[in-house]
Structure 1
Amino acid sequence: MQNNPSKDPLHGMTLQKILEILVDYYGFDTLAELIKIKCFTNDPSIKSSLTFLRKTDWARKKVEELYIKTLPKLNK
């Protein structure tokens, strides 16, 4: 039996790790332009953003989608 790695780019990624990667790559200013949510515009931090994203499914989905779109840029 083979152990095939998951093809899901989110497999094994925590929301915190995804957010840290996006903040490192874009910064909160650009994230706020790409995803219009207050946790990225009003006194942004990883901690406050995680609190909001964990409670708000639609916002978390947008962050995950941006991460998936950003992956090819990260791998260069």
Structure 2
Amino acid sequence: MQCFHLYVPSAKVRGCVSSFCKRPGMTATSNDPLHGVTLQHVLTTLVEHYEWAGLAERIDVRCFKSDPSIKSSLTFLRKTPWAREKVEGLYVKLMRTKRPLD
């Protein structure tokens, strides 16, 4: 019998829902490109790539324009869902277009 794994973010227990699974505690891999990536890593990567001026051009937020810092930007992004979504979207777009170094 085939094993089907279930990932439920809000569930306290993650693992296989099949009683026939031979791998207890096995969880499905996430298709979310932001899975396991911190907001600080996202912001640092964007600043390294675009710098603050380029980031401010792409996302019109005052914390990127006026005396920008990682700390103040993280504070703002954690409190402002729409801005965080834009930053995360730009990061995902960058990661999809970025070519690996060979």
Question: Is there any run of 5+ residues in structure 2 with no aligned partner, and where?
Answer: 1-22
Q: Deviations over 1:14-72 (max 9, x none)?
A: 11110011111111110000000001000001001001000000000000110111112
- What secondary structure, in the 3-state scheme, does the structure 1 residue paired with 2:67 have? coil
Matched, 1:67 2:91: yes
Q: CA deviation at 1:3?
A: 4.7
Q: Secondary structure at the match of 1:27?
A: helix
Which one has a larger percent helix, Structure 1 or Structure 2? Answer: 1
Task: Please give the alpha-carbon distance, in whole angstroms, between the structure 2 residues aligned to 1:22 and 1:5.
Answer: 25
User: Helix, strand or coil: the match of 1:47?
Assistant: helix
Identity over the aligned pairs, expressed in percent?
A: 55
Q: Distance in 2 between matches of 1:70 and 1:15?
A: 15
Q: Matches of 1:7 and 1:45 in 2, distance apart?
A: 31
Q: Report the secondary structure of 1:29's partner residue.
A: helix
The alignment status of 1:29 with 2:92, answered yes or no, reads no
Partner of residue 31, structure 2 = 7
2:77 paired with 1:53: yes
Counterpart-to-counterpart distance in 2, 1:27 and 1:55? 22
| 1-structure distance, mates of 2:52, 2:34 | 21
Question: How many residues are aligned here?
Answer: 76
Q: Which has the larger radius of gyration?
A: 2
Gaps in structure 1 of 5+ consecutive residues: none
TM-score (normalizing by structure 1): 0.90
Q: What RMSD, in angstroms, separates the aligned Cα atoms of the two structures? A: 1.4
